[in-house]
Amino acid sequence: MIQITESAQTHFRRLLESQGGDAIGIRLSALHAGTPKADVRLEFAEKSDLDGNEWAVDCDGFTLFVDGGTASYLDGAEIDYRTNATGGELNIRAPKIKGTAPADGASIPERVRWMLDNEINPQLAAHKGNVRLEEVTADGVVLLRFGGGCHGCGMADVTLKQGIEKQLMAKIPGITAVRDATDHSTGEAPYIAR
C-alpha cells in the first residue's frame, strides 16, 4: 500500500485544480524499476492515459493511479509534501524501487553485484567513480575493477581495504579477501592523482 500524507494530497489537489483540462488524477510509475537507476515519475492522468491495469488509490478529492507494471516496486512508498522558504518540496520514498536484495542462499557474485550497485557505487559516485565485479575465485577472493574517478586514484587502496572490503566481508559470508584488478597507471581522470 502507498501512504500519502495530507499535505501531499492537498498539494496534488491544488495542482489538479490549476491544471484544468481533462486530468482526472495523478499517475505514479517507476522508471528503470529493479535497477540502480530506478526513479519515480509523477504526471497528470487523463482517462485516455489509463489502460485499466493501474492500482487506484482514492485520495481526498482525486485518485492516484499507480502503474500496474511497476506497482510491486512502488508498494510501501511514502509520498509527502513539505513547505519551505522557497515554496515546497515533494518527497517520495519507495524502498522497493531498486528491487530487493538477493536472499541469503543467493550466490556470492549475485550478492556482491547487488551491494556494489546499491550500496557502494552510490557512495563512489560522489567522486565520479565506480567499481564492478570482475571475478569471484573458488577460494572466495573477490576481484574488483575500478572505473571513472577511482581508476588511477591515489586513494583507491584505502577505499578498497577500509571501505569496500570491510562492507562486503561483513555482509557476505564466504568472502575471504577483496582485491583490486585495476591497472591504475592507465587511469585518465583520477579523483586524486597518484
Domain ranges of the chain: 3-93, 108-186
Pairing between β-strand 62-66 and β-strand 55-59 as defined by DSSP bridges: antiparallel
Beta pairing class for 87-93 and 78-84: antiparallel
Whole-structure pTM value:
0.63
Question: Residues near 183 by Cβ (< 8 Å), separated by ≥ 6?
Answer: none
Q: Which residues contact 169 (CB under 8 A, 6 or more apart)?
A: 175, 178
Q: How far is CA 93 from the centre of its chain?
A: 10
Model confidence at 94, pLDDT cuts 50, 70, 90, reads: very high
Which pLDDT band holds residue 31 (cuts at 50, 70, 90)?
very high
- The pLDDT confidence band at residue 106, using thresholds 50, 70 and 90, is very high
Whole-number pLDDT of residue 77:
95
Percent of the chain with pLDDT over 70: 100
Between strands 62-66 and 78-84, the pairing is: unpaired
Helices marked H in 3-126: 6-19, 71-74, 108-115, 121-124
Q: What angle do CA 133, 138, 139 make, to 5 degrees?
A: 100
pLDDT one-digit tens code per residue, 114-156: 999 888 998 999 889 999 999 999 999 999 999 999 999 999 9
pLDDT above 90: residue 25? yes
Other C-beta atoms lying within 10 Å of the C-beta of residue 156? 25
Over residues 16-22, the mean pLDDT reads 84
CA 16 to chain centre: 28
Mean pLDDT of 174-187: 94
pLDDT-derived band at 105 (thresholds 50, 70, 90) equals confident
Q: What's residue 189's pLDDT?
A: 86
Q: Flag whether pLDDT at 41 surpasses 90.
A: yes
For residue 23, what pLDDT is reported?
87
> Which superfamily, per CATH, for 3-93?
HesB-like domain (2.60.300.12)
pLDDT of residue 183: 93
The CA distance from 129 to 121, in Å, is 7
DSSP tally for the chain: helices H, then strands E: 6, 10
Where do we find the cell 522508471?
31
Mean pLDDT of 76-88: 93
Q: What class has domain 108-186?
A: alpha beta
User: Looking at residue 26, what is its pLDDT?
Assistant: 95
Q: Say how far apart CA 168 and CA 177 lie, in whole Å.
A: 9
